[in-house]
Amino acid sequence: MTTTTNASPVPLLSAAELNVTFPGRRGAPSSRAVDGVDLDIGAGEIVALVGESGCGKTTLARTLLGLVPPSRGRVTFAGEPLGYGARSLKAYRKRVQLVLQDPSGSLNPRHTVYDAVAEGLRIHGHQGDERAAVAEALSRAGLRPPERFFLRYPHELSGGQRQRVVIAGALVLEPELIVADEPVASLDASVRGEILALLLSLRDELGLSALVVTHDLGLAWNIADRVAVMYLGRIVETGPVEDVLTDPQHPYTRALLSVLPESGQTPVVLMGEPPDPSRVPGGCRFHARCQVLASGEAARAGVEERCRTESPPVLTGGPAAQVACHWATAK
Ligand SMILES: Nc1ncnc2c1ncn2[C@@H]1O[C@H](COP(=O)(O)OP(=O)(O)O)[C@@H](O)[C@H]1O
Ligand code: SF4
Ligand SMILES: [Mg+2]
């Protein structure tokens, strides 16, 4: 677990009132995949974005990268609003790099490691010594000596090595922030720790910031300075890892934590259907599945009616611990 937060007061990346709506197919209701999100990532900070599959993590990540234009709200990087023109986006993608979910899928099987890593340099018209830059990026990603990997093909590498090549391809452009979508989901447990340790060392050595998207709260525990828990398009709890994971306030965060083997708790089985962003319920969006409401605890705290009828306030970005739950705020 990380105990230091290197966040600077001015966030490197900031999302405000972000909404992304996808039109429904054949007259179906539209999907509010991201539904009012404020999120800040500080320089040198690792933020984990956590939530069940389908809650909108990838859509939010892609919106922060400028790959999806928001329906409402804005993204700001280093104090400047993100522009959606081709030139602005190209410049932005040099500073904010995506590390994809599936390393075998994101590497072209016919490209050597050298070409895979050099690709970004070529797209951005790099003027310096390409070979030295590729070697440096591979080395930083832990593939040493780098020259040994130049002419290898993806199928000749292990899953962990392929993920390191993908990370090297991002690092070669010397970004300030990487967005890693489920970076270890397809890796064996034994290599996961190595890749997470690599991300931590990049933060410590290069001051690199990262948004790590994961459905696994345990992973957030191992790597992040701060965590944002997302449910049905919205951040429902956020704060320093120490606060959110040792003393979770939102019933949803509690349920996610309870299923981790190391929690030693009886797992909370979430009731009802998993999130469907085309049918966001009224009141608290979690109310149909909330164990605190079902058990009568919310009623005892005098908030049951509000749970069913009133949406908890949207959380602001920023580093402080915050929770969007009537019961957690009232108790
Ligand atoms: N391009 C798209 N068109 C329509 N719906 C989409 C699109 N991308 C994602 N969605 C929907 O948005 C919701 C959130 O998806 P996603 O962001 O992939 O969630 P997560 O990464 O948390 O699993 C899902 O219901 C998904 O079906
Ligand atoms: S606001 Fe009410 S329904 Fe929503 S999570 Fe809190 S206790 Fe549960
Ligand atoms: Mg996803």
- How much distance in Å is there from the Cα of 164 to the middle of ligand 2? 41
CA of 229 to the centre of ligand 1 (A): 16
Q: Which atom of ligand 1 is nearest to the CA of 213?
A: 21
pLDDT value at residue 3: 41
Report the candidate in 188, 256, 187, 250 with the shortest Cα–Cα distance to residue 221. 256
Distance 284 CA to ligand 1 centre (A): 21
Total Cβ atoms within 10 A of residue 257: 21
Per the CB < 8 A criterion, the answer to whether 89 and 66 are in contact is yes
Query: What's the rounded Cα separation, in Å, for the pair 191 and 159?
Result: 8
User: What number does the ligand 2 atom closest to the CA of 291 have?
Assistant: 8
Residue pLDDT tens, the chain, 331 long: 444 444 446 799 999 999 999 999 888 899 999 999 999 999 999 999 999 999 999 999 999 999 999 999 999 999 999 999 999 999 999 999 999 866 567 899 999 999 999 999 999 999 999 999 999 999 999 999 999 999 999 999 999 999 999 999 999 999 999 999 988 888 888 888 999 999 999 999 999 999 999 988 888 988 999 999 999 999 999 999 999 999 999 999 999 999 988 888 889 988 887 879 999 999 999 999 999 999 999 999 999 999 999 999 999 988 999 999 999 999 8
Question: 308, 325, 331: which to mutate for ligand 2, most atoms within 8 A of CB?
Answer: 325
Centre of ligand 2 to C-alpha 112, Å, is: 51
- Identify the residue whose C-alpha is closest to ligand 2 atom 2: 307
Q: HEC states along 248-271?
A: CCCHHHHHHHHCCHHHCCCCCCCC
The residues with which 14 forms a beta bridge, in sequence order, are: 40, 76
Q: Are 314 and 324 in contact (CB under 8 A)?
A: yes
Query: Which atom of ligand 1 is found nearest the CA of 55?
Result: 22
Q: Around Cβ 260, how many Cβ atoms within 10 Å?
A: 15
Ligand showing the shortest atom-to-Cα distance for residue 59: 1
Ligand 2 atom with minimal separation from the 298 CA: 7
Pocket of ligand 2 (CB under 6 A): 250-251, 284, 286-287, 290, 292-293, 298, 307, 312, 325-327
CA of 306 to the centre of ligand 2 (A): 9
Using CB atoms within 10 Å of the CB of residue 61, give its burial: 0 to 12 exposed, 13 to 18 middle, 19+ buried.
buried
- Do strands 96-99 and 226-231 pair parallel, antiparallel, or not at all (unpaired)? unpaired
Ligand 3 centroid – CA 21 distance (Å) = 16
